């Protein structure tokens, strides 16, 4: 089971990029919002086992793949350019979501590998 500290470290990568941008832009309000969101996320995951987190991420990944598959089937049947464009935009949104999940899973794997090497 992952400790509180280990689970917290899994989320840091996702927020550090945004935090660096906010600092670079000098946007203290955004920086504070990012720090607050990070704390809330960490607190929410505090009592979750890493296996549960990983399984939840995989379930989300599979759901997104199913949604993308359905949209691709719809795309093949649609003739109107506007409808095609809407479907393509939805697919891109799902791809972005899937990429975020992949990053979280990769972060978990790196963290897990790091704990086994010690």
Residues 80-116: tens digit of each pLDDT: 999 999 999 999 999 999 999 998 888 877 776 765 5
Give the pLDDT band of residue 4 (cuts 50, 70, 90).
very low
Q: What is the pLDDT of residue 114?
A: 64
More confident: 4 or 13: 13
- Interatomic CA distance for residues 114 and 62, integer angstroms: 26
pTM: 0.57
Q: Please, which residues have CB within 8 angstroms of residue 60's CB and are 6 or more apart in sequence?
A: 97, 101
Q: What tens digit of pLDDT does each residue of 31-53 get?
A: 898 888 877 776 666 555 577 78
Phi, psi of 20 (to 5 degrees): -65, -40
With residues binned 3-state (H G I as helix, E B as strand, rest as coil), the percentages for the chain, rounded to 5, are 90, 0, 10
């Amino acid at each position: 089971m992952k400790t509180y500290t280990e689970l917290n470290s899994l989320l840091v990568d996702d927020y550090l990029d945004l935090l660096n941008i906010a600092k670079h832009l000098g946007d203290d309000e955004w920086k504070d919002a990012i720090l607050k969101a990070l704390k809330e996320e960490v607190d929410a995951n505090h009592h979750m086992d890493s296996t549960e987190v990983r399984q939840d991420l995989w379930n989300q990944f599979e759901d997104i793949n199913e949604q993308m598959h359905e949209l691709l089937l719809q795309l093949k049947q649609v003739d109107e350019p506007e409808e095609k464009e809407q479907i393509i935009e939805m697919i891109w949104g799902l791809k972005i979501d899937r990429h975020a999940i992949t990053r979280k899973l990769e972060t978990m794997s790196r963290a897990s590998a790091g704990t086994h090497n010690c």
